[in-house]
Amino acid sequence: MLQDQWRTGQMLRWLRNDPPVENAPTFGVWGEAATRVRRLLRDRDRQIIDSQARLKDFLSALQASPNGVMLLDGDSRIEWCNQTAAAHFGLDTERDMLQTIGNLVRDPGFANYLASNDFHSSLNMSGRDSSSAHPVTLSVQLHPYGDGRKLLLSRDVTALEQAEAMRRDFVANVSHEIRTPLTVLAGFVETLQTLNLDESERQQYLALMAQQADRMQTLVSDLLTLSKLEGSVLPGFDTHVAVAALMRQLEADALALSQVIGIAGDTDHHFVFKCEFDGELAGVPSELFSAMSNLISNAVRYTPVGGHITVKARQLAGGCLVFSVADTGPGIAAEHLGRLTERFYRVDRSRSRETGGTGLGLAIVKHVAQRHGAILTIESVVGKGSVFTLTFPPSRVVPVVVAGAQTSQETLSAQLGAQ
């Protein structure tokens, strides 16, 4: 009994002091018990290590999440949050631990949402870094779990909100642009159906109806052009267009438009077309022609009849190709320059509609410039005129080609027609 009691004491001392494994008793039944205890301890340690590794991987995955994740206890105190959630709410991941979320996020909407205990839907609120110049919108939602705990998820939906606002504005603008010609057409149709008109009046009404139909057709064409630009792949460098041939085609179209808008004779616009570059430009010919033509047509539409319009194409010392359109129109105030490339934005709406503008020309120019790596710059002085410039990078400028290989006017027309 004394020997058994002595061995029992050794076993208890080994268990209480947690000595190294090699110091465990090895005698008799106590040795077997010590072996089994050692095995259980090794299994426990291995499980703890595995659990810690899984927890670390889980927290790393939450840290890598693009959304904010925050764990709250039963009293809405912060137990853990990832860096995204800390950035969304302006928190310090060390200082603000175990602080009540309601004391740190002072948004009234969030406070009401937290107190309502109705978390079936999400809440949109302003982010901590939101400002009038750079608004930030967060979508947050609480998910109860466990014993009164809550999971707070946050997501930056600023881009989605802006896209939705742009979609609403786009639909409203398109509806507004189409409503006027449709109303005119409907009125003329009703007039032709109900009144007995002589041939001259009838022809006059039909001409006005055709004008409004052309306006709607131009609007639809510009919308399709924008949609094509946004959805197609970027242009490569294997297709070239001769700048000289492009300038000749632009000049012919500008003269035709000037005759339509003005009165034939001395009151037409005075054009100067200068092509100081004999090489080619790499890109999609139809897109390049559309962008340059839109700049010229805007100058024709907004420059009074008899004004001067100068169109130049030249290569700079660094290899860039500069295409510029200068006019002597009324000019544009500085507050409008930053918004000119927005869809349907007009400085003078009545003047644009009178001359057949759709408000999409500069938006098309901007997209074509971005697709070809060009830069669009606008300079204007009220009362003196404006200068619109497209600067193409040297990578898209092809030097003078050998004789006979330059794109002809017929080839350019075929390229524009095919595309």
For 295-327, the pLDDT digits (tens) are 998 898 888 888 899 999 999 888 899 999 999
Most confident of 220-229, 249-258, 321-330, 347-356: 321-330
Contact 300, 254 (CB under 8 A): yes
Residues 1-10 have a mean pLDDT of 77
Least confident range from 9-18, 40-49, 136-145, 173-182: namely 9-18
Contact 406, 247 (CB under 8 A): no
Residue 418 has pLDDT above 60, yes or no: no
What's the pLDDT at 55? 79
Q: Where residue 406 falls among pLDDT bands split at 50, 70, 90?
A: very low
Residues 267-278 have a mean pLDDT of 84
Task: Output the CA–CA distances (angstroms, integers) from residue 361 to 45, 293, 357, 358, in the order listed.
Answer: 71, 9, 8, 7
What's the pLDDT at 102? 86
Contact 371, 287 (CB under 8 A): yes
Own/partner pairs, 127-132, CB within 8 angstroms, 24+ separation:
127/88, 127/89, 127/156, 127/158, 128/88, 128/89, 128/90, 129/90
What's the pLDDT at 93? 79
What's the pLDDT at 58? 76
Tens-digit pLDDT profile for residues 282-299: 998 988 998 999 999 889
Q: Look at the block and give the residue holding tokens 């609403």.
A: 168
Q: What is the mean pLDDT of the chain?
A: 81
Residue 354 has pLDDT above 70, yes or no: no
What's the pLDDT at 398? 87
What's the pLDDT at 414? 57
Tens-digit pLDDT profile for residues 73-129: 888 899 888 888 888 888 887 888 888 888 888 888 888 888 888 888 888 888 877
Residue 407 has pLDDT above 80, yes or no: no
Q: Where residue 411 falls among pLDDT bands split at 50, 70, 90?
A: low
What's the pLDDT at 388? 94
